[in-house]
Structure 1
Amino acid sequence: MTFFHWRGLGAALVLVMAALGAHAAPAWTAAWAAAPQNFDALPQMPGVPAAPKWMVQGTVRQVLTVALEGDRVRVRFSNRFGQRPLRIAAATVALGTGGGNLSPGTLQPLRMGGRTAFEVPAGQEQWTDGAALAVRAGQPVVVSFSLAESVPATVVHRLPPDGGWTAPGDQTDAAQLKDARRKPWNLFVTGLDVRPPRPANVVVAFGDSITEGSGAESGAEAARYPQRLGVRLQGVEGRTPVAVINAGIGGNRLLADVTGPSGLSRFDADVLRQSGATHVLVLIGINDIGFGTFQGKVLPGFHPPDAQALTAGLQQLVDRARARGLKVLLGTLLPFEGSGYWSEANEARREAVNRWIRGRQDVAVVDFDAALRDPADARRLAARYDSGDHLHPNAAGTAAMAQVADVPLLRE
């Protein structure tokens, strides 16, 4: 009897220790991510010849600002839109020291399956192995990789002004690149995870250019509302750490492809598959309403969706997120009178969508509209929040968005 008693106790201790070990070593957690677009599918201006393919060779270096602390990192390389394997000859990660420079003492090689040279098959995304690099929230991390051959720039995302460079040859170990050219695009890197010291929440901000950051100090990363929200949620002693990941794409529509895949088609990859995702904050639909409108009239060949189609699309996102256990927040669409998108009919669609959002009882509502509208004219952005195009908030507007989005649910 005594033997079986201690045997049972031993099993219980094993379970307790396993639970403690799991708590002490949290799983990989998203600390930075970007929602990619297919460069070859970006829309062209009417009457402007299509741009030739952008061929990339040599070294690519990108500066990513991480949203969580951790002692190890891994990087996701994406070939989602590629037609042939993406062959990486070498890759490194290090702490940034400003511009495109890195700290040599922190430089670590990136491997995939133990190999320093690796490839990502066409249509796939793959993670590197973990690398020992201690990072803090808000710290710049430099990812460098050299290409084994010249490849077309397929998987891209627009970066802040000082975000990316290309340089000849293999300069992945260089503290400072030689003969570098600054690029406004992120290339092939769509995620950076960390191993945090304790479990954290991951909030994915999903949307269009208002989420991505257009209008906020020329797109400076720190001025974007998801980044501002992340800063508000950081460093609160005794509370669960929170990372806010920006999954916005400028010009993105919920129901149809235009600049990037539609919100419906990219939601799984850009939200549900983010490592450790716990929450999603959705703000999308204004491009569906306004696309094809000019001076108050819908151009020939354009058929904007009605409010019912938009709310049905938003409901799909809610259902898919909740099925994966994510907590859902819906943002109301901002006012836009005075912009090129605006018309009486489009305003009626926006108001109908916002009524539907505000009427929800099963999700959290973030009322961006109420926070940023002009008190004297609810159909316009308040002047102090208007970037000048009457559609995108300025830096003060994104700060106001972060304030209204800072709700207790994000820490639960």
Structure 2
Amino acid sequence: MRDITTKHIPPRSWPEALTRRRFFGFVAAACLATGLSACDDDRDEARRLQATWTASPQNYNEAVPVPGVPPPEPQSFQDQSIRQVMRVSAGGEKVRVRVSNLFGTAPVTLGGVHIARGTGGASINATTDTVLRFNGQESVTVPAGQEVWSDEASFSLPSQTDVAVTVYVPQTTPVATVHSQGQRTISIAAGNALGRATFTPTETRQSYYWVTGIDVRADDARGVIVAFGDSITDGTGATVDALNRYPDFLARRVAADPALKGFSVVNQGIGGNRVLNDVIGTRGVERFQRDVLGTTGVTHTLILLGINDIGFGGFVPAQTVTADDIIAGLQTMVDQAKARDVEVFLGTLLPLEGMAAPYYGQEAEAKRQAVNAWIRANTAQAKGIIDFEAAMRDPAAPLRMRPEYDSGDHLHPNGTGYEAMANAIDLGLFR
């Protein structure tokens, strides 16, 4: 089995670099040593902040090394507002928003960033419109390769609510850091429309631009479940604006369970992502540090990744990997999570017979079976497994997805299939 090494991506601030248990243990030890009563307040403040929505950052300009796939056309914005709609998981009394320029080669300046409750389409409840500030300023310049959080702002936010984050781009700004598959309608308007209750978009898209995270502060915050994976986590095959990806269904199940009050579910999937190679999005063994362990308040993660490592080798022979290579990469992520006291669950790879060659074939199927056998046989390596394959396979043809769950490409589920995936997860795992 090949040894997998990863590039360390340092967290944004030292408290986020520690697990909740270790951080609170450190604070408790300091309190005992100094006798400072304020330590209890500091510990409570750290506990109450958690992620409620995420979108993994991608490099818009990265080329896909697959024959016949052209590089992306350059994009830029100038004197335009982008209203980006998100469904948050947990609610709270304060929010902060992360703006990312991780893949930019030049600074990005946003003339303003507002958050408001969404009321559908490009409309907001104007009475909730809130200016977000960055070190007290309404505009923010994010250096190349960096990301920043807004100051916390008072904002009453129920769980399972749509919010709209509107950004104004005053000067010509090339697009670099995006999340390409948002599965929500994103509206673009000319000029500064930051606080406008509604506007008629000049165009709509389905990608998120620069905005990659929303954190919420709540008294009952308990933890964050991060869904980590590829297009099956990101939601290919789901219906735009229907909120029917598997993490969406899981988030609603968690919100409806009184025993899980205070937990949130966030989605860190990237369509086309792999464990071991950069194709679409940074490879999993590298971005796991940032997108899972760097998520505010993370306590659990579900990993469903590896099918693209198998399939893309058919298009790019130089990037062919073995089942043992994939297993070693998954083990690396499990080890990283356990070292941070994050409970990790491995998902079995879904059946895909019928997917077009050269993505699928006998060799690909043998690798998938080997990876799934390792996942099932090595449950001690992780906290547990989620047997997605068992929930999705056709009893009459076990190498295929059930027809009623199939989006049509034999790889990605439809909304009904994604709901079945979410229902296959025992919520008792998080209690």
Query: Fold-level match, TM-score > 0.5?
Result: yes
Which residue of structure 1 lines up, in the alignment, with residue 340 of structure 2? 324
The reply on whether 1:342 has 2:364 as its aligned counterpart is: no
Which range is displaced more, 38-47 or 381-390? Answer: 38-47
**Contact in 2 for aligned 1:26/1:198 (Cα 8 Å):** no
Following superposition, the deviation at residue 313 of structure 1 comes to 0.3
**Contact in 1 for aligned 2:254/2:260 (Cα 8 Å):** no
Which range is displaced more, 247-256 or 232-241? Answer: 232-241
Unaligned runs of 5+ in 1: 1-10, 294-298
Which residue of structure 2 lines up, in the alignment, with residue 185 of structure 1? 207
**Contact in 2 for aligned 1:94/1:106 (Cα 8 Å):** yes
Which residue of structure 2 lines up, in the alignment, with residue 155 of structure 1? 177
The reply on whether 1:121 has 2:139 as its aligned counterpart is: no
> CA 1:408–1:15 in structure 2 vs 1: closer, same or farther (change >3 Å)?
farther
Secondary structure at the counterpart of residue 112 of structure 2: strand
Which residue of structure 2 lines up, in the alignment, with residue 110 of structure 1? 132
Q: Summarize the alignment of residues 245-284 of structure 1 with structure 2, pairs less than 5 Å apart.
A: 245-284=266-305
The reply on whether 1:75 has 2:93 as its aligned counterpart is: no
Cα separation, 2, equivalents of 1:46 and 1:55: 26
> CA 1:180–1:132 in structure 2 vs 1: closer, same or farther (change >3 Å)?
farther
Q: Quick one: percent identity of the two aligned structures?
A: 41
2:397 corresponds, among 377, 390, 395, to 377
> CA 1:156–1:276 in structure 2 vs 1: closer, same or farther (change >3 Å)?
same
Code of the aligned partner of 1:305: V
> CA 1:90–1:372 in structure 2 vs 1: closer, same or farther (change >3 Å)?
same
Q: Summarize the alignment of residues 40-79 of structure 1 with structure 2, pairs less than 5 Å apart.
A: 40-43=61-64, 46-47=67-68, 50-57=71-78, 58-79=80-101
Q: Summarize the alignment of residues 29-48 of structure 1 with structure 2, pairs less than 5 Å apart.
A: 29-43=50-64, 46-47=67-68
> CA 1:300–1:84 in structure 2 vs 1: closer, same or farther (change >3 Å)?
closer
Cα separation, 1, equivalents of 2:157 and 2:295: 19
Cα separation, 1, equivalents of 2:82 and 2:243: 23
Code of the aligned partner of 1:201: G
Code of the aligned partner of 1:256: N
> CA 1:300–1:359 in structure 2 vs 1: closer, same or farther (change >3 Å)?
closer
CA displacement, residues 212-245 of structure 1 (integer Å, 9 cap, x when unaligned): 111123x545110011011111133354422111
Cα separation, 2, equivalents of 1:144 and 1:222: 20
Following superposition, the deviation at residue 49 of structure 1 comes to 5.1
Structural RMSD (CA): 2.3
CA displacement, residues 271-321 of structure 1 (integer Å, 9 cap, x when unaligned): 11111011110000000001143xxxxx57444211110000000101111
- Structure 1's consecutive aligned runs of 4 or more residues displaced over 6 angstroms after TM superposition are 14-17
Secondary structure at the counterpart of residue 178 of structure 2: strand
Unaligned runs of 5+ in 2: 1-31
Code of the aligned partner of 1:90: G
Number of aligned pairs? 396
**Contact in 1 for aligned 2:60/2:72 (Cα 8 Å):** no
Which range is displaced more, 338-347 or 301-310? Answer: 301-310
Which residue of structure 1 lines up, in the alignment, with residue 198 of structure 2? 176
User: What is the TM-score of this pair, normalised by structure 1?
Assistant: 0.90
Which range is displaced more, 219-228 or 31-40? Answer: 219-228
Code of the aligned partner of 1:281: L
Which residue of structure 2 lines up, in the alignment, with residue 392 of structure 1? 412
Cα separation, 2, equivalents of 1:353 and 1:276: 30
Cα separation, 1, equivalents of 2:344 and 2:175: 34
The reply on whether 1:305 has 2:316 as its aligned counterpart is: no
> CA 1:253–1:163 in structure 2 vs 1: closer, same or farther (change >3 Å)?
same
1:165 corresponds, among 171, 181, 187, to 187
Q: Flag the structure with larger Rg.
A: 1
Cα separation, 1, equivalents of 2:266 and 2:242: 12
Which residue of structure 1 lines up, in the alignment, with residue 154 of structure 2? 132
